[in-house]
Amino acid sequence: MSQIYIKARLQGHVGILELSNPGKYNALPQAGWLSVRPKLNQLIGDGARAIIVKGDGDHFCAGADISEFDTVRKNAETARIYEASNVEAFTHLRNCQVPTIASIKGYCLGGGFGLAAACDLRVASLDAKFAVPAAKLGLGYPVEAMADIVGAIGSQNAKRMLYTADSFTTDTMLSMGFLIEAVPAEKVEEHSHLLADKISNLAPLTHRATKTTVAAIASGDWQHAKFHSDATFESADYAEGRKAFKERRKAEFQGR
């Protein structure tokens, strides 16, 4: 029976995407990277309004499973195929239609750091470790993943991480703006869920418009974002929000 490297489950309106290869600090083989897209789609189809990305056990993700590189990344041809699976995972996490939260404990390395960078928000344990050690392996990092990293910490900090291949502390990543919060390891999941619950109880179409607009500012494609913003004014949720405000009650949003 083949191992399931990406697990998905729904808790209320919050989806949980769990990276699972605990014997290797949740380092993902190629099969794991290829599972990210269908599992995200599963959670969206099940009604998730926010998604938490976490690791199984005490670590977030140690990146790619290097033990299979002699086979799946042995030369330029196979490396391009492998890289495509990485890029697909990063792309679908980045473009996920609902807000995503990386819930980080322990190691957040290489491709794991790329997954965290592709999320909208990031919460980490005080003792987490962050690194992108591509220079220790002699390989280049996908431009799509680098775009996420540069967007999350800026070009100079991205160059610092990649050039030195050093490990960075949670405090340093906070100072770079990579994290929104740092808490003791035993509090990471609790704080991630509190944030996800808060988000999931607010207007889904507004979140989609916000996410699209922020991405549009980075890309310069403002017209696409304008469509999503304009659509909110014709939505039932906007009508419900106005009505709830007048009636001084909590709005019940349906995402339509």
Domain boundaries, the chain: 6-200, 204-247
Question: pLDDT band at residue 156, thresholds of 50, 70 and 90?
Answer: very high
**Topology, domain 6-200:** 2-enoyl-CoA Hydratase; Chain A, domain 1 (3.90.226)
pLDDT at 224 over 80: no
Model pTM score: 0.90
d(CA 97, CA 83): 23
Q: What pLDDT is recorded for position 1?
A: 41
What is the share, in percent, of the chain residues with pLDDT greater than 70?
Answer: 85
Higher pLDDT residue, 205 or 191? 191
Q: Where do the H-state alpha helices sit in 68-203?
A: 69-72, 76-94, 111-118, 134-137, 143-153, 155-164, 170-175, 188-200
Q: How confident is the model at residue 246 (pLDDT cuts 50, 70, 90)?
A: low
- Which of 71-75, 130-134, 156-160, 194-198 shows the lowest mean pLDDT across its residues? 71-75
